Structure 1
Amino acid sequence: MTSFWDWAVAAYGGDGVAAQCLSLQDDHDQCVPLLLWAVWTGVSGVKLTEDMVEEGADMARSWNDAVISPLRILRKRLRKPLSDIDDLARERIAAQVKSVELNSERELMTALESLSIIDFSKAKQNLTALCTDNVAVVAKAWGPKVPRPQLISLIGTLSDGGFLEYTHMS
């Protein structure tokens, strides 16, 4: 199995995945790295335990509140022109903030991957159902409202793109 980061980058680049992830983040207050972790563990044949979900959600919430969210807010503020500040300078800083935001998400994903105890010898027969169950439990742990139709749509898009196929570590 590929690393969580490598899988997530490939999956996020799949047709329609980024738009669905951003909608889950912006419109439904979900944590994309946490959701993708839930799918990746499912693709690895792992059903998330209650302890894994709780620890992953706590870790993601802490890192998101302290690092990712403030960077995202700053990056979004820098989208608009600022009086008396050169647009090129603002855009350079915005690009740097975006890079730091992406690196902070990568660090969170590395930490989430370390929570995953994966037995690569046990592939599940129905990875779509396993991934759907995993994202539902982490979405519930993340917030009070679970956007089930959007999560099911994301799983379908990932499946259509071939990202729910079990592969083992070589």
Structure 2
Amino acid sequence: MPPDLWNFALDLYARPGVENACLRLQEQGADVCLLLAAAWLGRRGVHYDPVCAEQLQGIAGPWQRDVVEPLRRLRQAWREAAGTDTGLCELRDGVKRLELDAERRLLARLEEIAAPWPEANGQDWSWLDVLAGTAREDRDALQSLRAAAIEA
């Protein structure tokens, strides 16, 4: 398991079924960066703490709202037109890179606060259930993410 959150997230996201599970959960309102951080914490064996979860949400919420989501909306809005406009396609690719960089920076912020939290024996998947928010009802997607994280 990669010790840092970014490389863990890249490894986890590349595993079969994880991208689809994350996108399903995102469509239901979950923050994928929080889900990846939750999987990282669970895999590391950090015991769930509601105060710590609130700290993560306090970092992720404003960053998603003010930085990531506007980039995502712009990229998605240009999808159809970029199919026939080379210049717009190049701009859209640039926005996509910015969106990914914004998510990488969010993961770095989450890691910075969570890295010192003590690890324990065993894994704690409560993080995933709580940080999935309203998307926690999609048990299949969460189980896919959990199973992949266990193997990571």
Q: Cα deviation per residue 1:53-89 (whole Å; 9 max; x = unaligned)?
A: 101112111000000000000000111117xxx6110
Structure 1 match to 2:69: 69
SS of equivalent residue, structure 1 residue 14: coil
Structure 1 match to 2:145: 154
Shift of 1:16: 1.3
> Aligned Cα RMSD in Å?
1.9
Larger radius of gyration: 1
Find out whether 1:34 has 2:37 as its counterpart.
no
Structure with higher helix content: 2
Counterpart amino acid of residue 147 in structure 1? E
Alignment of 1:126-165 (within 5 A): 127=123, 130-131=124-125, 133-140=126-133, 144=134, 146-149=136-139, 150-159=141-150, 162-163=151-152
Percent identical pairs in the alignment equals 29
Find out whether 1:46 has 2:46 as its counterpart.
yes
Which residue of 106, 109, 112 maps to 1:111?
Answer: 109
Quick one: distance in 2 between partners of 1:74 and 1:8? 24
Shift of 1:148: 4.3
Quick one: distance in 1 between partners of 2:8 and 2:136? 24
Is residue 25–residue 135 contact of structure 2 (8 Å, CA) maintained in 1? Answer: no
Q: Cα deviation per residue 1:4-36 (whole Å; 9 max; x = unaligned)?
A: 00000011011111111111112x110000011
Shift of 1:147: 2.4
TM-score, normalising length: structure 2: 0.89
Shift of 1:154: 2.1
Counterpart amino acid of residue 112 in structure 1? L
* Count of residue pairs the alignment pairs up: 149
Quick one: distance in 1 between partners of 2:96 and 2:73? 10
Quick one: distance in 2 between partners of 1:48 and 1:71? 31
Quick one: distance in 2 between partners of 1:70 and 1:115? 25
Shift of 1:119: 3.3
TM-score, normalising length: structure 1: 0.80
Counterpart amino acid of residue 87 in structure 1? D
Unaligned runs of 5+ in 2: none
Shift of 1:145: 5.3
